[in-house]
Amino acid sequence: MLNLDTVERDYVRWYPTALGAFAEGEVERAPSTRPFSTGLYVHIPYCDKKCSFCNYNVQIKNRNDDSTRDLVRTYIRAIKDHALRCKELRWHENVRVDSLYLGGGTPSFLKAEELFDLLTFFRAEFDFDDNAEVSVEGNPISLDSEKIDALAKAGTSRLSIGVQSFEPRLLEILGRGVTQEENIEAIRMARASHIPILNIDLIYRNPSQSTEELLESIRIARELGVNQVSLYPLWVRPKTEFHNAFVKQKLSLPTEQDEFEQLVAARAEFKRLGYEQYNVFDFVDDRANICVNTFLQWQDGEWIGIGPGATSYFRGSFFIHTYDTADYIRKIQRGEDSVNAGLTLSRQERMERTMVFGLRMFPFLKERFFGQYGERVESVFGDKLRWLEDQELLQQDAREIRLTARGIFHINGISKLFYSPNRKGSLQTLGRKKDGTLILERDF
């Protein structure tokens, strides 16, 4: 069923894979009789510095250059025009926004007034739920108290800071360009602000990282009053400094056994410090503080993606925008369709998707599956679930399913187990190149 001798490293970003040609006009226009919730994801593709591990869709720029300021202004105009175009297509009708996520790249690359203006714009143009989550990513390299205040004034409810580690040696290896003190200072500023929820990202499985160093970072997070921690295993992705070193056998990563031990030790430390794990990557100090956007992405919620390479899952279709930022801006300026790949999911594909992502959430509620499809999850995927249980990758009872630590470790392999046979082995499509050919995960 699934090879457990080694960890599947190809991260499952979305399902279905192998997207085809798709235009925004294909999004279902069937009128909805009742308001339904959606998320908005807005991509900011700029960073100050390229980290050694990252292959996200970013451009490295000098924030203070006049040409960069012009470019950013043009980009902000483009994403606003893109949002207005979604409105022209009447996607906003009967839709209430329950989550706005400004991600990247690095949203804190923008100036304080640009951040304020952007968040205010989205609130003015779309119908927001009173309790909508407004989440913004920031990097200590560009966060300052003026920006944090502007975010708070614009109603940001969750700030997520990329910390990765508090260990100075590791920050150097990861190419972050910030010191331990700068990480701590950014967190202190965020805690002193009116933004209620603070998340930080940490990475384990780093080159030469010890378990003790990882646990120390978790303890520092607790001491600083961080509400949520996203803990990711290092993914060595093509087109990164780490990947180049890996290919030359010059990247010394922990063994799989050490990596598993780090995961188990981290889970125990979080528990000891009062954090609960509510999905494969996220820990929270209080269930009331969990991130809405995670549910949206992994529990069949829908969202509209704005920006180059942004994905959307809206009205049963999954689609992706032009990857190249300059190309994206050009298309928006010309009023052209910036969607370049996608598909509308069949009922079977929706069920598979519910498993691919739903098992990441703790717990996976069987009742929810039944409510969505009118069938018991055991009748559709019973064999697979039993096999995973026999392998001690998950535990289940009549009500719910929960991955074990071993299940978390093998999450990508488990997800792929639920792919339909015709999608197995097919790579995730990131869109189309200018010459029309598909951009595949392995190209990055």
Ligand X SMILES: C[S@@+](CC[C@H](N)C(=O)[O-])C[C@H]1O[C@@H](n2cnc3c(N)ncnc32)[C@H](O)[C@@H]1O
Q: Which of 38, 139, 157, 199 binds ligand X (CB under 6 A)?
A: 139
54 binds ligand X (CB under 6 A): yes
- Choose between 182 and 378: whose C-beta lies nearer to ligand SF4: 182
234 contact choice in ligand X, ligand SF4, none (CB below 5 to 8 Å, kind-dependent): ligand X
50 contact choice in ligand SF4, ligand X, none (CB below 5 to 8 Å, kind-dependent): ligand SF4
133 contact choice in ligand X, ligand SF4, none (CB below 5 to 8 Å, kind-dependent): none
Three-state SS at 417: helix
Q: Which of 133, 201, 302, 352 binds ligand X (CB under 6 A)?
A: 201
Dihedrals phi, psi of 33, to nearest 5 degrees: -80, -25
In order, the DSSP letters of 50-109 are --TT--SS-EE--TT-HHHHHHHHHHHHHHHHHHHHHHHTTTTTTEEEEEEEEEES-GGG
- Choose between 229 and 393: whose C-beta lies nearer to ligand SF4: 229
- Choose between 54 and 292: whose C-beta lies nearer to ligand X: 54
From the list 15-23, 103-111, 243-251, 277-285, the region that binds ligand X by CB under 6 A is 103-111
d(CA 198, CA 218): 14
Q: Which of 16, 39, 45, 162 binds ligand X (CB under 6 A)?
A: 162
Question: How far apart are CB 48 and ligand X at their closest, in Å?
Answer: 9
167: which 2 tokens? 């260990």
- Choose between 14 and 56: whose C-beta lies nearer to ligand X: 56
State the alpha helices, DSSP H only, in 193-307.
Answer: 211-223, 241-247, 256-272, 292-298
330 exposed, middle or buried (CB, 10 Å; 0-12, 13-18, 19+)? middle
235 contact choice in ligand SF4, ligand X, none (CB below 5 to 8 Å, kind-dependent): ligand X
Q: Which of 61, 80, 82, 237 binds ligand X (CB under 6 A)?
A: 237
- Choose between 108 and 354: whose C-beta lies nearer to ligand SF4: 108
Question: How far apart are CB 188 and ligand X at their closest, in Å?
Answer: 16
d(CA 334, CA 105): 25
Residue 306 identity: I
148 binds ligand X (CB under 6 A): no
104 binds ligand X (CB under 6 A): yes
Tell me the C-alpha to C-alpha distance, in Å, between residue 36 and each of 19, 92, 127, 398.
26, 10, 11, 29
Question: How far apart are CB 39 and ligand SF4 at their closest, in Å?
Answer: 20
72 contact choice in ligand SF4, ligand X, none (CB below 5 to 8 Å, kind-dependent): none
Count CA atoms closer than 13 A to 86's CA, side-chain side.
25
182: which 2 tokens? 């700068």
203 binds ligand X (CB under 6 A): yes
In order, the DSSP letters of 25-52 are GGS--PPPSS-EEEEEEEEE-EESS--T
Which residues in this chain contact ligand SF4 in the complex, by CB under 6 A? 47, 50-51, 54, 56, 58, 104-106, 139, 162
Question: How far apart are CB 80 and ligand X at their closest, in Å?
Answer: 21
d(CA 444, CA 430): 9
Q: Give residue number: closest CB to ligand SF4.
A: 54
174 exposed, middle or buried (CB, 10 Å; 0-12, 13-18, 19+)? buried
312: which 2 tokens? 């959307």
* Residues at the interface with ligand X (CB under 6 A): 47, 53-54, 56, 103-104, 106, 137, 139, 162, 164, 201, 203, 232, 234-235, 237
